[in-house]
Amino acid sequence: MDKLIVQGGGPLEGRIRVSGAKNAALPILMACLLAEGKVELGNVPRLRDIHTSLKLLEILGCKTSFDGNDVTSDAVALVPEAPYELVKTMRASVLCLGPLLARLREARVALPGGCAIGARPVDLHLKGLEKMGAKFELAEGYINGTCNGGLKGAHITFDFPTVGGTENLLMAASLAEGESILENAAREPEVEDLANFLNAMGAKITGQGTSVIRVEGVKSLKGCSYRVMPDRIEAGTYMCAAAITDGELLIEDCPYQELDAVSYKLREMGVWLEETDEGVLVRRDGPLVGTDVTTQPHPGFPTDMQAQFMVVMCMASGAGTIEEKIFENRFMHVQELARLGADIRLKGRTAMVRGGKPLFGAPVMASDLRASASLVIAGLAAEGKTEISRIYHLDRGYENIEAKLSGVGATIWREKE
Ligand code: EPU
């Protein structure tokens, strides 16, 4: 296993480029199952979860290639089973359920277990697909789904605007018979990107990016070329890194419009952000001051930025709170940040951060993807050496992070543990 060593203390300065969005690329890859013909995707980040998805597509009967950041997929001979060995390493595998039911009228997909950030059930995915005519039974840890008469369009109102649930239903509805209406749908930009990709394949979807999405089912979808959107969470992570190191970064290919809630909070804390022709410029605009944050479905403050934001709050004067409303257990980074000297108290789903205290390097352990990112940027701000173990989590979501951060002045390297 690898570990990352960060020698902190210096400001980050220069240009840093954002990669394609993991959370857009994953559903888009599963949507390739729907196409008759070859799909070509650009701006696909080279990440562990992407390699896992391609392995899954191969197992499900697609021919794939991955060259640089370009992926091709051709669904030549589909088979309906997604095995536990792959699903357990990546929860997003469950997104093949909707496409398999739509194309094959059957699916056998391992039930993803819980993960470090919460139980994460998929009941809303199943409830929605049932409304479209699918039947499910759970046996030996697998979801066995069938829809003998084919999927039928349905009016579905989600109990909660689930990202994955909306994506699964969007894919299923694209090939269902008749019209589907998804209400209280997730408005995340990655859901919108998936819908745009489906439309490029010939789907008839409107309302993506709002909470009511309409899908007019079509008989078949064809191959197409599509560029995956840039990663807003990676961009937001670099914004936080610039702020806490008192540096200045120009973030290239930054999906700035999708980061309103984050940039609003950063400004409130004393960070200068400016959109230019070449990217988004980020630097401090004076001393950082504490604020309060509550995570919400988009367009609210994203849960995927909560851990990184906590580090900014640690570097700010005064106290602030972070309330986590999406996942019940997404505070694994708190104890690790405490090892660096952070003063954070947890009460239920709220963390109280008393900022303004210096951080000092220490060995810490990554528990999940965004927690890992928070430890890396905390290491950049801490005095001395921070060793982050279990960084395989980081490799799931940040393409070339050491190279990118080294390119803007960070002292960071990887070692074998
Ligand atoms: N939920 C249910 N039942 C369901 C589905 C969701 O109770 O059927 C609950 C979940 O347990 C959770 C909440 O609803 O408490 C939100 O879950 P959602 O379905 O919206 O999230 P997801 O699709 O599992 C995606 C991202 C996550 C991101 C969340 C929220 C992907 C592959 N994953 O997960 O990304 O945090 O949306 O924005 O798109 C990450 O990248 O680090 C990451 C965890």
Ligand 1 atom with the smallest distance to the CA of 123 is 8
Q: How many Å lie between the centroid of ligand 1 and the Cα of residue 245?
A: 30
Ligand 1 atom with the smallest distance to the CA of 327 is 15
Domain boundaries, the chain: 2-18+230-416, 22-227
Ligand 1 atom with the smallest distance to the CA of 303 is 36
Provide the strand spans (E) within 10-121.
Answer: 13-17, 35-36, 38-42, 62-67, 70-75, 81-82, 106-110
Q: How many Å lie between the centroid of ligand 1 and the Cα of residue 84?
A: 19
Q: Atom 4 in ligand 1: which residue has the minimum CA distance? A: 122
Ligand 1 atom with the smallest distance to the CA of 370 is 42
According to CATH, the superfamily of the domain at 22-227 is Enolpyruvate transferase domain (3.65.10.10)
Q: How many Å lie between the centroid of ligand 1 and the Cα of residue 281?
A: 30
What is the assigned CATH class of domain 2-18+230-416? alpha beta
Q: How many Å lie between the centroid of ligand 1 and the Cα of residue 57?
A: 21
Q: Which residues does 377 contact at the CB level (< 8 Å), separation at least 6?
A: 237, 240, 241, 244, 308, 311
pTM: 0.98
Q: Atom 31 in ligand 1: which residue has the minimum CA distance? A: 23
pLDDT tens across 49-75, in order? 999 999 999 999 999 999 999 999 999
Tell me the two tokens of residue 39: 């799909």
**What does the pLDDT read at residue 115?**
74
Q: How many Å lie between the centroid of ligand 1 and the Cα of residue 276?
A: 32
Q: Which of 49, 111, 120 to mutate to test the pocket of ligand 1 (most atoms within 8 A of CB)?
A: 120
What number of CA atoms fall less than 13 Å from residue 200's CA on the CB side? 20
Question: Which residues are catalytic, by number?
Answer: 115
The C-alpha atoms of residue 118 and residue 316 are separated, in whole angstroms, by 29
Q: Atom 33 in ligand 1: which residue has the minimum CA distance? A: 23
Q: Atom 26 in ligand 1: which residue has the minimum CA distance? A: 23
Residues with a CB atom less than 6 Å from ligand 1: 23, 26, 92, 118, 120-125, 160, 162-165, 186, 188, 190, 303-304, 326-327, 369-370, 397
**One pLDDT digit (tens) per residue for the chain, 417 residues:** 899 999 998 999 999 999 999 999 999 999 999 999 999 999 999 999 999 999 999 999 999 999 999 999 999 999 999 999 999 999 999 999 999 999 999 999 999 876 777 778 999 999 999 999 999 999 999 999 999 999 999 999 999 999 999 999 999 999 999 999 999 999 999 999 999 999 999 999 999 999 999 999 999 999 999 999 999 999 999 999 999 999 999 999 999 999 999 999 999 999 999 999 999 999 998 999 999 999 999 999 999 999 999 999 999 999 999 999 999 889 999 999 999 999 999 999 999 999 999 999 999 999 999 999 999 999 999 999 999 999 989 999 999 999 999 999 999 999 987
For residues 185 and 160, the answer to whether their CB atoms sit within 8 Å is: no
Ligand 1 atom with the smallest distance to the CA of 118 is 11
Q: Which of 28, 131, 163, 188 to mutate to test the pocket of ligand 1 (most atoms within 8 A of CB)?
A: 163
Q: Which residues does 135 contact at the CB level (< 8 Å), separation at least 6?
A: 145, 146, 147
Cβ count near 116 (within 10 Å): 14
Ligand 1 atom with the smallest distance to the CA of 369 is 42
**3-state SS, one letter per residue, for 221-247:** EECCEEECCECHHHHHHHHHHHHHCCC
Q: How many Å lie between the centroid of ligand 1 and the Cα of residue 164?
A: 6
Q: How many Å lie between the centroid of ligand 1 and the Cα of residue 295?
A: 13
Q: Which of 304, 331, 372 to mutate to test the pocket of ligand 1 (most atoms within 8 A of CB)?
A: 304
